[in-house]
Amino acid sequence: MTSFIAQVKTPGDTDWVGNGLRFGTKGQAESYIKDLAWRWTAVQETRVAPSDDEPTHIFINGETRRLP
């Protein structure tokens, strides 16, 4: 199953950095990373990339929840 990872770059980063969360839909990952970038002011760039990992979380109504 494909999932999606949200990643950021901050000042000085040369590589994309993620936190291990995997979302089942691209839309959830995009919403999550927009929310994170709004709260974390050091973010300079964001992206959502596909992952071969199983989904681990959902992001709905501004809340991140771990999947069982």
pLDDT beneath 50: ranges in the chain: none
Supply the pLDDT for residue 13: 92
pTM of the predicted structure, to 2 decimals: 0.90
SS3 state of residue 45: strand
Give the per-residue pLDDT at 58. 97
**Residue 41: predicted pLDDT:** 86
pLDDT on residue 17: 94
CA dihedral 22, 27, 33, 39 (to 10 degrees): -120
CA dihedral 60→40→15→29, nearest 10 degrees, is 10
pLDDT, position 54: 96
